[in-house]
Structure 1
Amino acid sequence: MLSYQHAYHAGNFADIHKHLTLYAVTDYLLRKKTAITYVDTHAGRGLYPLATKETQRLQEYREGVWPLWQARRDLNSVLLNAWMEALVNAQPEADELTRYPGSPWWLSQPLREQDRLKLYELHPGEHGHLEGQALPKQAQRIYGDGLAGLRGLVPVPTPRLCALIDPSYERKTEYQEVVETVVHTMAKVRHAVVMIWYPLLPAGHHHTLLTGLEESGIRKIWRSELLLRPPNQQGHGMYGSGMLVINPPWGLDEHLAAAMAHITPLLGKESRYHAGWLVEE
């Protein structure tokens, strides 16, 4: 199934959670000079103009990046301020929020000469948009299945590997496919840093992912969840966003907690954030 297009959801609260985590992880990894291979298994378009008909249809960014943008001068978090500064730099006009950058943009901005970036996208239309984005020469756009691509890529030629896995989960089987891909990847690259995004939906299918990884034998899996509203068992929409980080950088939990303390009040009175170990050492 290739119907999912992230443009309808660009800049929503889940994007904030995912990309703030991504920014914090990559910022830490760049403290060492050794080369990194970054893999983005579901890259999407790379950059999302907020005025497009797709994004304007649902306007989910108004419950995500928009309130943060309006409050950007009043924020007091080292991580969040740095992230917001990068977001400002992504705009054609610094004082106007007109586009939201996807993970290819966040991953490509800090690339060094020795690093490599593999961007996988299977949707032909989305890959076409990605092809039109200006990216550094170290970034390779690949029209194909990102999970299969990651499995075939490991072990990588660089000393370090950092992967972002964030399927649409339109198919229930994707949760188990992610588990199998992560198990294979970690068996080949034991010290890889792997980030996995998952949606919180009333059906609760994400428990397949969590249970599978808990029972996989992989150690050091950190979990965080940002809830926009309490779960409604009778509803159908996404009420929260989840992130797993395998081999998380030191201090990630504290930096994200400090940032989320500023973010959750801006997302509404029902918004909550919590984090902890899914699997410890």
Structure 2
Amino acid sequence: MLSYQHAYHAGNFADVHKHLTLYAVIDYLLRKKTAITYVDTHAGRGLYPLNAQETQRLQEYRLGIWPVWQARAGFSDELLKAWQEALTSAQPVSESLTHYPGSPWWLGHSLREQDHLRLFELHPGEHEQLSTQGLPPHAQRVFGDGLSGLKAMLPATSPRLCVLVDPSYERKAEYQEVAETVAYTLEKARHGVVLIWYPLLPAGHHHTLLSSLKESGIRKIWRSELLLREPGEQAHGMFGSGMLVINPPWGLDNRLAAAMAEITPLLGADSRYQADWWVGE
């Protein structure tokens, strides 16, 4: 099943949660000169014009990045201000929010000469769009399945590994497939930093992912969730966004808590942010 196209949801509240977390992790990793291999298992297009027909159909960015952008001048948190400066640099005209950068942009924007980036995308149309994006020459775009592609490239050639796993979860089996792939990845790269995004839906299928990872024996799994509303208030639709970070950089929890304290109230009166250690050391 390859029907999912992220352009319909670009810039929504889940993107805000996911990409701020990704940015915070990258910011920490870049403090050392040692080479990093980045892997994005479900890359998407890379950069999304907000006036695109698909994006305008749902306009989810209006309850996500749009209010954050509108409030940017008043931010006090340093991580949040740096993230917004990076977002501004993705705009053709810095004063206007016209494009939302997906994970390939955030990863490519931070890529140094010694680093490597591999972007997997299985949807033919999405991969075609990704191929047209302006990325560093050593960013490799791969038309194929990201989970199997990740396993095939391990162990990585560089000393450090950072992986983003964010499938659409169109199939319920993907929750278990993600857990199994991540467990294999950490067998091959014990100190790798792995970020996993998951949706919070009324059906609660994300518990399969969480339970499988806990039972795998993997340690140091940090969890954060951004909820727009409490579960059960609406029968259908995503009510929240979840992120797992395995082997998180030191201080990530506090840095994100401070940034999310400023963002969360902008996303609605009922929104809230919560974080904990799903599995400790």
TM superposition score category, shorter chain reference: over 0.9
For 2:215, give the aligned amino acid: E
Partner residue, 1:138? 138
For 1:73, give the aligned amino acid: A
Report if aligned partners of 1:131, 1:141 keep a CA contact under 8 Å in 2. yes
Partner residue, 2:189? 189
Partner residue, 2:99? 99
> SS at the partner of 1:275?
strand
Unaligned runs of 5+ in 1: none
For 2:120, give the aligned amino acid: Y
Report if aligned partners of 1:203, 1:233 keep a CA contact under 8 Å in 2. no
For 2:79, give the aligned amino acid: L
Give distance in 2, aligned partners of 1:211 and 1:241: 17
Pair 1:234–1:98, CA change in 2 (3 A)? closer
Percent of aligned pairs with the same amino acid: 74
Report if aligned partners of 1:199, 1:206 keep a CA contact under 8 Å in 2. yes
Give distance in 1, aligned partners of 2:178 and 2:73: 38
Partner residue, 2:250? 250
Deviations 1:217-258 (A, max 9, x none): 000000000001111265110000000000000110011000
Give distance in 2, aligned partners of 1:20 and 1:234: 26
Question: Is the counterpart of residue 277 in structure 1 residue 281 in structure 2?
Answer: no
Question: Is the counterpart of residue 168 in structure 1 residue 171 in structure 2?
Answer: no
For 1:276, give the aligned amino acid: D
Partner residue, 1:122? 122
Give distance in 2, aligned partners of 1:110 and 1:237: 33
> SS at the partner of 2:235?
coil
Once the two structures are superposed, the pairs formed by residues 43-122 of structure 1 within 5 Å of their partners are 43-122=43-122
Once the two structures are superposed, the pairs formed by residues 206-225 of structure 1 within 5 Å of their partners are 206-225=206-225
Structure 1-normalised TM-score?
0.99
Partner residue, 1:27? 27
> SS at the partner of 2:114?
coil
Partner residue, 1:40? 40
Partner residue, 2:239? 239
For 1:49, give the aligned amino acid: P
Deviations 1:87-120 (A, max 9, x none): 0110000110000000000000111111000000
Give distance in 2, aligned partners of 1:226 and 1:265: 11
Give the Å deviation of 1:138: 1.5
> Aligned residues, how many?
281
- Runs (4+) of structure 1 exceeding 3 A deviation are none
Give distance in 2, aligned partners of 1:239 and 1:76: 28
Give distance in 1, aligned partners of 2:106 and 2:192: 19
Partner residue, 2:4? 4
Unaligned runs of 5+ in 2: none
Give distance in 2, aligned partners of 1:94 and 1:65: 15
Give distance in 1, aligned partners of 2:194 and 2:43: 15
> SS at the partner of 1:237?
coil
Give distance in 1, aligned partners of 2:45 and 2:228: 25
Give distance in 2, aligned partners of 1:264 and 1:158: 36
Give distance in 2, aligned partners of 1:31 and 1:258: 20
